[in-house]
Amino acid sequence: MSLLDGRVAVVTGAGRGIGRAIALCLADEGARVVVNDIGVSLGGEGTDEDPAEQVSQEIVGHGGSAVANRDRVDDFAGAGRIIDTAIDSFGQIDILVNNAGIVRDRTLVKMDEADYDAVVAVHQKGTFNTARHAAPHMKEAGYGRIVNITSSAGLRGNFGQTNYGAAKAAIMGMTFVWALELGRYGITVNGMAPAGATRMTMALPEAADPPPDQDPALNAPLVAFLASEAAADVNGQIFGRTGFGYTVFQTPRQVATMWQEGGWTPAQVADHFHEVLGQHLQPVGMPAHPLLGKLG
């Protein structure tokens, strides 16, 4: 028996790259899959392509069950139709993988409001929209798995990605909140910061011939596990991938305290900061890797 036999999954942004690999893997593990993708460019502009149908037919060609959906996650009603596609086609919704995303990279002083709003709308609001529609069905069934795709750009910071980093950090925060709210109903909510050579990396000169450990399919097995009954005790966690290994992040947490009776003056803070708190300052930015600048 496969991990996901009898389950129904929705994967947003599943027409290409990491999302496509996740959809194929979930189907291989027995899930019936709604493949959502509107077929836009990296910046969110429309195209004539229909990747949702292509991936859906690929799953069916391998003996699985899948349907395509082309609604937008950044539209609340559209996100509802994505979830309705699962209910109408397969009678239930057990798994939601929030993967849809776009990028419009600019430094802060060059980023305009439209760049910011578009990226936050797809990543952050889109994740809320689909989860808001899926959660009541999962609650009624007493079972659900939500996997939110976040990024090291939001967990650690990445140059030129104010909009993307802000949205991905917000997804981490929503993951923690939903894990608390929904866990009592048999619903787990976890996040993953994936890696892989995708459309987001192809513009980089060093990405022309990516190494084997940058195959986007390497992210999918962990997502499939998190989507399964075997991960019932895993809730509110943030995972990642580095090379052929999976990693787990810890939330920002207090690691040192500078204390004195009655509090501090600014001068006293200046006198003692470096010997106490200053010993524990964290590095900023993603790990050095020829491809990681645009991944996840």
Instruction: Give the model's pLDDT for residue 224.
Output: 98
Instruction: Give the model's pLDDT for residue 124.
Output: 98
Contacts 24+ apart (CB under 8 A), 220-225: 220/18, 220/21, 220/22, 220/24, 220/25, 220/26, 221/25, 222/192, 222/246, 223/22, 223/25, 223/26, 223/97, 223/147, 223/192, 224/3, 224/4, 224/22, 224/25, 224/26, 224/29, 225/3
Overall average pLDDT of the 148-169 stretch: 94
Region of poorest pLDDT, from 91-100, 225-234, 260-269, 275-284: 275-284
pLDDT-derived band of residue 296, with 50, 70 and 90 as boundaries? very low
pLDDT-derived band of residue 294, with 50, 70 and 90 as boundaries? very low
Instruction: Give the model's pLDDT for residue 212.
Output: 85
88-119 pLDDT tens trace: 999 999 999 999 999 999 999 999 999 999 99
Instruction: Give the model's pLDDT for residue 289.
Output: 54
Overall average pLDDT of the 255-268 stretch: 97
Q: What is the pTM of this model?
A: 0.90
Q: Do 196 and 204 meet the contact criterion of CB atoms below 8 Å apart?
A: no
119-134 pLDDT tens trace: 999 999 999 999 999 9
**Would you say residue 206 has pLDDT above 60?**
no
Overall average pLDDT of the 59-83 stretch: 98
> Could you tell me which residue, 214 or 167, shows the higher pLDDT?
167
Kindly report the average pLDDT of the chain as a whole number: 91
pLDDT-derived band of residue 52, with 50, 70 and 90 as boundaries? very high
Overall average pLDDT of the 127-155 stretch: 97
Instruction: Give the model's pLDDT for residue 204.
Output: 47
Percent of the chain with pLDDT over 90: 81
Region of poorest pLDDT, from 11-15, 169-173, 229-233, 284-288: 284-288
pLDDT-derived band of residue 207, with 50, 70 and 90 as boundaries? low
How far apart are the two ends of the chain, measured CA to CA in Å? 31
CA distance 255 to 264: 19
Annotated catalytic residues are 164
Q: How would you class 265 by CB atoms within 10 Å of its CB: exposed for 0-12, middle for 13-18, buried for 19 or more?
A: exposed
Angle among Cα 19, 37, 148 to the nearest 5 degrees reads 45
pLDDT-derived band of residue 197, with 50, 70 and 90 as boundaries? confident
